[in-house]
Structure 1
């Protein structure tokens, strides 16, 4: 009987990242997908800064930046004219090594993840479907339907449902999926074209309640059109063609279409599962939460789920922690998912609202306010922090303790950079580690050496103060680079007590 540590259902970005992270940490995974081949079309485009930061742990960030497209600006159009421009080139300068908007289509993204996963000897099992599963005392027993139609019984310690909005894992767990469905039909078209909106920047039409945007891709004259329709055409989504929706792009954004490579339509929901974990089964990505594409958050949130769960599963399976560590996955990720669904729903509802007042706000007020607001550094920083997901934090949650400087337990470690380097180099290693900015005690140094806990002591520099880091305290960092403890002492007993209380064993490799 085939047995793995973790059986992953679904080979989209969420499932692939989970498989990749676990494989890097020495965990035996099996990943299946019911599709015949990887997708050749994609809706998700943006790879946010926080995802790129975490991808450094897998040596993926540079490949994405090199092969993707950095968007220089967002342009907003009204009545056939560009009326506002928001520069994006260094919108997050000083906050992250990736202070820009990166476009890297999901199909190319998946191909890169699959290629890297194969270096660990793991291949996605295609045309293979989960039929059912049950939990036994020490694991999961699953029934799979193989490509030849035969049924296979397999076992795993845990099962991860990364199988999308129609998740069989979620349905088997009988988790509710409350929320709703947007009335609009969304469409995506991959086109080659020319015109002022094909200058390598992002363009958004504010004219009507139906959303329309042009997202640039790496190839010159190549872009993704994403839009909505809500009139009588939406009632016949299955027969909708590009010709039915293209006139608006041609007229409003002055697009000259040369070739349509592909076109598809879909409906979007805004839902969050009632729970993300039941026993040995977990829900991640679209199986756990779906929302509007506003802000390019969906794929990145699923990847965040995968990284959050991966190090915890690896710790438990390798004997480095007790199973209670896994309780924190749902606590940390469901709170963020609920906030995100609420936020993206409000933004999308504003952009697509109907009526004279809504039209006035979009076409007159928004073009006036956007340049004004973004001329202030604080406004630009708030916008970038929100969209880039660098503000995602786990403050006040069970694995987060303390505060020192401006940094709380549960925060992403702030990036500090100057001419002497940055404080992120050690984060490439996905392990527990301690950062000290300034000086620490001989006791702390000796304790960390004895317990094989990496300790990085940085000579105090103004860049650390500017980033909000405290002098001479310490930050215990989790393997996913979030702060577990922020403490202004140099006492290793604080760390020792933390590990003991959370069932984490004091050995590190």
Structure 2
């Protein structure tokens, strides 16, 4: 019987992201997928700002940027009339290096992650099917079937289901998948278009239905459509179906031709009742499925993997008790529920067949939206939700803050990013943080009270007390003989709320583990001993 530490079932974006996390942690694992080859078709098309940040912990975000295109705006139309344009260039966040969503196909994302993993001699085993999975107190046993029909028994410490809505891991663990299917029927096409317009996301609403239009590469556009009059039960969508909808919804004539892919599908909204059952865990579509509104599904799954990866590694290395894995369900299921509720409301409004809601959507909203979204703060708040930059884990049992801390940021919040100087070279806060270990950031404050000697003393005492190999970085407002990293304008200090000196312990997933003033370092040491 073969052995490994972790079995990842499913080689999509979530499984690949978890493989990357475990690779960076030097944790032995195997990743399998039942499909003989990767599909070149993909429903997911967007990497959001937070996902790019998480990818850049591994220094690979630019590879995705080079093979995608940033979406710079969303244009909304109703009844063949222009309603509103949300220009993302106007919404400038001062705490991230990635202002816009990146349009890139799931197939391209998987290809890049495959290439990155191959550099570490990691490859998805395919076609390999998990036929049976069972667990006991000490581990998981999986029966795997290979392409030639042979069976293999594998023993592992943990199994993670990244194997979609029909997950064998979730079913074997006895977890429920609560929810239902949307009643609407959807059709999808990737087509070439003769269309003179701004290359960005377009949303069209009208009496005949709604359509979302995404720009892809090489003059290919993705059309996702819900028609008021559904196709017959066995009918396949045609190019003419899409042309008919375009003629009814768009204010100008558009010609589509040379379809790359045409499909028909149903959508579901479901969430597992728990993301963990003993030594079996679920992530991505195996844990939650929801509407494509906001492009949240794939991104959320990749975030699941990042959250889980470092925790699995810490438990397997014996640094933490197995109970640490309970925080994965506590933190990520809450996010899944929030997104499910948010995307449900938005999607049901867009795809509604209710006469009253249709009237509001098609005739009232066009008057309200320009007024409601004219305030940049409202647009920024909406986009911050969609970009997933606002995700936080404040109610998690494994985060905290000093009793004397009065700042806006709390334990569990995402660590903001900002520009710093290391000598004469510009760096960012996030470039200091690794994907493998916690990191400690010490801030001098902008009031000039704390000396570099005080910061150095805090540094030394933390290393001695923690007994762990945690990188420590000291950030000051002015240059010093012993301090290399500067925040000359104090902008990063303000992002963190450090007028006086302070510290932030950062988790490997880029969220705050513990934060407080420098005078409360003893509280950090006590908290770490729990």
**What is the deviation of 1:167?**
0.7
The answer (yes or no) to whether the contact 2:2–2:154 under 8 Å persists in 1 is yes
CA distance in 1, matches of 2:339, 2:207: 25
Gap runs ≥5 in structure 1: 502-509
CA distance in 1, matches of 2:208, 2:54: 36
**What is the deviation of 1:404?**
4.3
Partner of 1:447: 461
Quickly say closer, same or farther: Cα 1:142–1:429, change in 2 above 3 A: closer
CA distance in 2, matches of 1:218, 1:90: 25
Partner of 1:504: none
In the alignment, structure 1 residue 458 sits paired with structure 2 residue 475: yes
Deviates more, 1:479-488 or 1:200-209: 200-209
Partner of 2:412: 410
Deviates more, 1:318-327 or 1:170-179: 318-327
Deviations 1:441-476 (A, max 9, x none): 444211234443222221144313542422312111
Partner of 2:431: 425
Quickly say closer, same or farther: Cα 1:379–1:95, change in 2 above 3 A: farther
CA distance in 1, matches of 2:146, 2:340: 35
User: SS of 2:292's equivalent?
Assistant: coil
CA distance in 2, matches of 1:185, 1:155: 42
Partner of 1:181: 181
Partner of 1:435: 441
**What is the deviation of 1:185?**
1.8
**What is the deviation of 1:428?**
4.1
User: SS of 1:407's equivalent?
Assistant: coil
- Equivalences for 1:359-438 in 2 at 5 Å? 359-402=358-401, 403-417=405-419, 421-438=427-444
Q: Of 230, 238, 241, which residue of structure 2 is paired with 1:241?
A: 238
CA distance in 2, matches of 1:234, 1:281: 41
Partner of 1:145: 145
**What is the deviation of 1:284?**
0.4
User: SS of 1:357's equivalent?
Assistant: helix
**What is the deviation of 1:136?**
3.0
Deviations 1:297-335 (A, max 9, x none): 000000010000000111112232222211111111111
Q: Of 497, 512, 529, which residue of structure 2 is paired with 1:483?
A: 512
- Equivalences for 1:215-364 in 2 at 5 Å? 215-219=214-218, 221-229=219-227, 231-233=229-231, 235-236=233-234, 239-253=236-250, 254-364=253-363
Deviates more, 1:175-184 or 1:299-308: 175-184
Deviates more, 1:408-417 or 1:299-308: 408-417
- Equivalences for 1:57-72 in 2 at 5 Å? 57-72=57-72
The answer (yes or no) to whether the contact 1:290–1:298 under 8 Å persists in 2 is yes
**What is the deviation of 1:359?**
3.1
TM-score by length of 2: 0.89
CA distance in 2, matches of 1:108, 1:340: 25
Quickly say closer, same or farther: Cα 1:101–1:274, change in 2 above 3 A: same
CA distance in 2, matches of 1:278, 1:131: 19
Aligned pair count reads 498
Deviations 1:143-198 (A, max 9, x none): 0111111211111111000000011111111211111110112222111112135x
CA distance in 2, matches of 1:214, 1:182: 20
Partner of 2:91: 91
CA distance in 1, matches of 2:202, 2:188: 15
Partner of 1:41: 41
**What is the deviation of 1:497?**
2.2
**What is the deviation of 1:355?**
4.4
The answer (yes or no) to whether the contact 1:414–1:469 under 8 Å persists in 2 is no
Quickly say closer, same or farther: Cα 1:24–1:370, change in 2 above 3 A: same
Quickly say closer, same or farther: Cα 1:188–1:232, change in 2 above 3 A: closer
Gap runs ≥5 in structure 2: 445-449, 478-488
Quickly say closer, same or farther: Cα 1:141–1:202, change in 2 above 3 A: same
The answer (yes or no) to whether the contact 1:209–1:353 under 8 Å persists in 2 is no
| Structure 1 residue runs of 4 or more that deviate by more than 6 Å after TM superposition | none
TM-score by length of 1: 0.93
CA distance in 1, matches of 2:124, 2:63: 21
CA distance in 2, matches of 1:86, 1:171: 42
CA distance in 1, matches of 2:525, 2:79: 63
The answer (yes or no) to whether the contact 2:205–2:249 under 8 Å persists in 1 is no
CA distance in 1, matches of 2:490, 2:124: 48
Deviates more, 1:74-83 or 1:37-46: 74-83
